[in-house]
Chain A
Amino acid sequence: MPGAGPVARAVGGGLARRKVQTLVIGLVLLVSTGACVLALGLVVDSSAPFDKAFAAQHGADVVATVDRAVATPGQLAATARLPEVTAAAGPYPEAMISPQIGGRTVTLQPMTVAGRGGPGGPLDDLVIQQGRWAQRPGELVLSSDSGPGVPLGTQITVSGVPGTPRLTAVGYASSINRSADGWVVPSQVAALRAPGAPATAQMLYRFASAGSAAALRTDAGRLSAALPSGAVTGTQSYLAVKAQETSGIAPIAPFVVAFGIIGLVMSALIVINIVSGAVVAGYRRIGILKSIGFTPAQLVGSYAGLITVPAVAGCIGGVLLGNALSVPLLGSTATVYGVGALGVPVWVDVLVPCAMCCLAGIAALLPSLRAGRLSAVQAIAIGRAPAAGRGYAAHRLLGRLSLPRPVTIGLAASFARPARAAGTLAAVGLGAIAVTFAVGLSSSLNMVADGLSHAKTEPVQVTLVGSGRGGQQLSPSAQQAAVEAALRAQPGTLHYVAQADQAVSVAGLSGQVRMTAFRGNADWTGYDMISGHWYSGPGQVDVPTNFLTVTGKAVGDTVTFSVGGAQVTARIVGEVFDTDNQGLAMLTDWRTLAAANRRLTPYVSDVALRAGTSPEAYVRALGSTLGPYADVSINGKDPFFLTLIGLTGTLTLLLAAVAGLGVLNTVLLHTRERAHDLGIFKAIGMTPRQTIAMVVCSVAGTGLVAGLLAVPAGMAAHRYVLPVMAHAAGTGIPASYLAVYRVWEIAVLALAGLVIAAAGGIPPAAWAARARTAAALHAE
């Protein structure tokens, strides 16, 4: 192609001459593309994480439990060839076990254990989350979703089985179908079955038509019909698991999407700002190239090349970076979502770098076209310095302030390139919004975690678990009396209250509602009020938001509940923040529930500790006093929230880094443009420290303004997103959870933009301070 040679040489020369700029463009594209890949990956995965994990882990539409005494292996194998079955796996032998740990001191919930040779398979591909797969009899892999949360290496004793076999927990795995609570090698299963228990096995199926519960019922019916009568003892559809998981995912998606959108917009802004800035900074060179005969088309080609080379390299690196970062981050997200594994979709890996390259190309093309239309002299003049007159008034006005002169000169500098300053303002502002939003979200999530766990207000719980000390049989009320005596005697006890839970029927509701009755004052237990007040006597109840939604009641209405045949009517006096039992709960005074159940007995005591008392030491001391008939435990926060707060922090750091990089490039362009002026400043006696102050201040003002604007925007985002999250979880939110920003925090957050700007501005400022004055004076 005629003319390609000079263009290629101009591109090569430009790249060699502007190594730092090339590096920065590549770096910004790398980080921005990485952030976009991650952000879009998060947004996409948030939209339907279960479906994605289901596809990735080859989830089964139906997990059928079959009695192997009724169906032969041949008959089971034949089901895989049924016309509606598209894939099948199994049979995996299974057993229901009663596990205990620590000898016989702690009895765990019964567990379904399946025998599988490995985690993989055509259906329900298990994902090892921790440890390894079971390799020999005696080893157990626990479900990270539904298994007991015991440390790896814990010895679990299976009770009710000859020889009381012992299993060692060697790993944690997740199943998209929640097909079992644990897995062992297949040969071990028979030894775990209780005498007389049926020899059951799991068969996993995918069907051609499985989009609805009705279709799945039809499929399961055909499956049962294909086997001898009674062979299929139960089925579990993926829709049931999905419904359960989706209710847990819903609250998370709004905040992940909010972060994703901020990341996408910010990356686009920074790329436009940097690339167009780089081309404008090259106007002088464009003028020189024109003066030696480059045509406008050749100029556009040479500048497109100058930008494209680092942009493409950055985009490719960014895809790798985004995917590398996605491993831990989407891993955390997958944990939060309760799905086995999430990854960046392939189309995101293709779309994002293409879009970023196009964005960079357009950002380069527009100023290049403009430069192509300018005369050589005009291009040289524009490239040498900002347009004459811009920022002069700012210099005059700021010069009157009683601030050090390097500071006022630096502050005024941002007015010389208003478009670039506006781009930087937007990028830093978005970074600061993310920081403000994240700080509020973390505070609110901590309050939510405290509000749900009551870990702060009642750090210790005592639960009756046995029937007496040393084989002595005690009635539950006698045991409770012993617990309360021990609590009174234990130093460090601030107050305690006994409680009992009772499933009750509520008029107008088909299911049962959990009613918790406190024997004594319980207003300190930490149920935060959304509206109304805590009950003050018998006949009053407090209920969660979902109870009001489901029953159509409001605070002030009455509600009638019944236990057995006894009916009691109570008035709803408050709406509490509580999501236990999906918000279908009532909290009341002991006498309210006792009116319906005269044999009500407390079995849990909530304990508040005096200030300075160590919960661990208290639990050890009380546990040793009470012995095995009571379980004394620390009321901890749900790790779900800790993961969520960690995720928030990681995303915020990433966005702040992208914003800082944008600032770095802006300042770099600015210092390159003003290299000669910097030489003058230094020649007339500006010290390196004054030079750094001046250069940093050239973006500090923008950063400060961005921070000041970002605080209300970030607070507004918090105020909008948190109730959306709560609503998705089926609850309202106490006003105190939204009013989390304290005055000093707001003041500090207002400086977030300044901090981001300073962090991005210091490296080029240090470069400017180190530059040789004599050389800078000759720079044009």
Chain B
Amino acid sequence: MDSLISLSEVTKRYQSGGQPAVDRIRLEVAPGEAVAVMGPSGSGKSTLLNLIAGLDRPASGTVTVAGQRIDTLSETGVARFRRQRIGMIFQFFNLLDDLTVADNVLLPAQLTGIRRARARARLDELLAALRIERHRDAYPARLSGGERQRVAIARALVNRPALLLADEPTGALDAAAGEQIGELLLDLNRSGQTMVLVTHNPGLAARYASRTVRLVDGRVASDTFTGAQL
């Protein structure tokens, strides 16, 4: 099967001549996989995620996602690609405080130009699936951490992305909420959603990812299949 993500000899430096944040990384992720990226602080986990998302560009090497070289795309091209093919969730949710839950979720669809009725139908579907319909007109500040992360997941999924990227998705949640979000992600993966999640939590990686990539000093130290994927 063709890889959904293909990184070839990818290096990223933040300062010219400085230590690389990621160093000649090669990584292939197949469709439907749930990959956990682990490693100590400063190992290059978030940088790797940003490179896959097209939020950053590599100094060398190629990044291909869903058959598209994204490291060579223009800023506009990569933004369009990201909103159609990639969904992102973050440790601190990154919701827009001045928009309601519904408006937050709809935003990527509206940026893409999806028709209003179709976007609203998708919104209803996601809010129901994530059990946050009653918060539809609420502002993020009134929600709990777990509810906010559900809203963030709904926003990430609104355009039916091929790839879901999650940066410490349970890092800011208490244990119970973290458990619920983990289950949600697992459900999504079971339904075929490809995921790459960055985490410090070995338990989360073991339970919800089928494969764990460990980074040390910007290089892949190990790449193991745990079999958690269903």
**A residues engaging B (CB < 8 A)?**
385, 388, 391-392, 395-396, 399, 404-406, 409, 412, 416, 676-677, 679-690, 769, 772-774, 777
**Cα–Cα, bound, A680→B103 (Å):** 14
Known: A683-B82, A769-B75. 15 other contacts (CB 8 A): A388-B97, A391-B98, A396-B100, A676-B94, A679-B94, A682-B79, A684-B111, A684-B155, A685-B84, A687-B75, A687-B76, A688-B76, A690-B79, A690-B111, A777-B55
Which B residues are in CB contact (< 8 Å) with A409? 99
Known: A683-B53, A684-B108, A687-B80. A777 touches B94 (CB 8 A): yes
Q: Which residue of A lies closest to B47 (CB)?
A: A774
Flag if B107 contacts A684 (CB, 8 Å).
Answer: yes
Flag if B83 contacts A685 (CB, 8 Å).
Answer: yes
The smallest C-beta distance from A449 to any residue of chain B, in angstroms, reads: 51
Query: Which of B55, B79, B82, B103 has the most chain A CB within a 10 Å cutoff?
Result: B79
**Cα–Cα, bound, A677→B53 (Å):** 17
**Cα–Cα, bound, A676→B94 (Å):** 8
Q: Which residue of A lies closest to B161 (CB)?
A: A685
Q: Which residue of A lies closest to B79 (CB)?
A: A687
**Cα–Cα, bound, A773→B54 (Å):** 9
Partner of B110, one of A405, A680, A769: A405
Main secondary structure of the interface of B (DSSP, over half): helix
Which B residues are in CB contact (< 8 Å) with A684? 82-83, 88, 107-108, 111, 155-156
Flag if B94 contacts A683 (CB, 8 Å).
Answer: yes
Identify the 5 closest CB pairs spanning chains A and B, nearest first.
A685-B83, A405-B110, A687-B79, A773-B55, A774-B55
**B residues engaging A (CB < 8 A)?**
46, 50, 53, 55-56, 75-76, 79-80, 82-84, 88, 90, 94-100, 103, 107-108, 110-112, 139, 141, 155-156, 159
Flag if B80 contacts A395 (CB, 8 Å).
Answer: no
Flag if A685 contacts B96 (CB, 8 Å).
Answer: no
Q: Which residue of B lies closest to A682 (CB)?
A: B79
**Cα–Cα, bound, A395→B79 (Å):** 23
Can you pick out 16 interface pairs between chain A and chain B where the beta carbons lie within 8 Å of each other?
A: A388-B141, A395-B99, A395-B103, A399-B103, A676-B94, A681-B96, A681-B107, A683-B82, A684-B107, A685-B79, A685-B111, A687-B75, A687-B76, A688-B75, A688-B79, A777-B94
**Cα–Cα, bound, A244→B139 (Å):** 72
**Cα–Cα, bound, A738→B126 (Å):** 62
Which B residues are in CB contact (< 8 Å) with A773? 55-56
The smallest C-beta distance from A194 to any residue of chain B, in angstroms, reads: 83
Which B residues are in CB contact (< 8 Å) with A405? 107, 110-111
The smallest C-beta distance from A387 to any residue of chain B, in angstroms, reads: 11
Known: A772-B56, A774-B56. A685 touches B94 (CB 8 A): no
The smallest C-beta distance from B151 to any residue of chain A, in angstroms, reads: 12
Which B residues are in CB contact (< 8 Å) with A689? 76
The smallest C-beta distance from B164 to any residue of chain A, in angstroms, reads: 13
Flag if B98 contacts A412 (CB, 8 Å).
Answer: yes
Partner of A686, one of B56, B94, B111: B111
Which A residues are in CB contact (< 8 Å) with B107? 405, 681, 684
Flag if A680 contacts B108 (CB, 8 Å).
Answer: no
**Cα–Cα, bound, A677→B80 (Å):** 18
**Cα–Cα, bound, A684→B76 (Å):** 12
**Cα–Cα, bound, A680→B96 (Å):** 8
Partner of B139, one of A392, A404, A679, A681: A392
Partner of A406, one of B50, B56, B111, B155: B111
The smallest C-beta distance from B138 to any residue of chain A, in angstroms, reads: 11
The smallest C-beta distance from B21 to any residue of chain A, in angstroms, reads: 11
Partner of B112, one of A391, A395, A681, A685: A685
Which A residues are in CB contact (< 8 Å) with B112? 685
**Cα–Cα, bound, A215→B160 (Å):** 95
**Cα–Cα, bound, A769→B95 (Å):** 19
The smallest C-beta distance from B7 to any residue of chain A, in angstroms, reads: 17
**Cα–Cα, bound, A682→B81 (Å):** 12
Which B residues are in CB contact (< 8 Å) with A690? 79, 111
Which A residues are in CB contact (< 8 Å) with B88? 683-684
Which A residues are in CB contact (< 8 Å) with B79? 682, 685-688, 690
The smallest C-beta distance from A697 to any residue of chain B, in angstroms, reads: 14
**Cα–Cα, bound, A677→B98 (Å):** 10
**Cα–Cα, bound, A216→B80 (Å):** 84
Known: A395-B98, A406-B111, A684-B83. A777 touches B90 (CB 8 A): yes
The smallest C-beta distance from A230 to any residue of chain B, in angstroms, reads: 91
Partner of B80, one of A404, A412, A685: A685
The smallest C-beta distance from A406 to any residue of chain B, in angstroms, reads: 7
The smallest C-beta distance from A217 to any residue of chain B, in angstroms, reads: 78
Which A residues are in CB contact (< 8 Å) with B75? 687-688, 769
The smallest C-beta distance from A400 to any residue of chain B, in angstroms, reads: 10
The smallest C-beta distance from A386 to any residue of chain B, in angstroms, reads: 8
Q: Which residue of B lies closest to A776 (CB)?
A: B55
Which A residues are in CB contact (< 8 Å) with B96? 677, 680-681
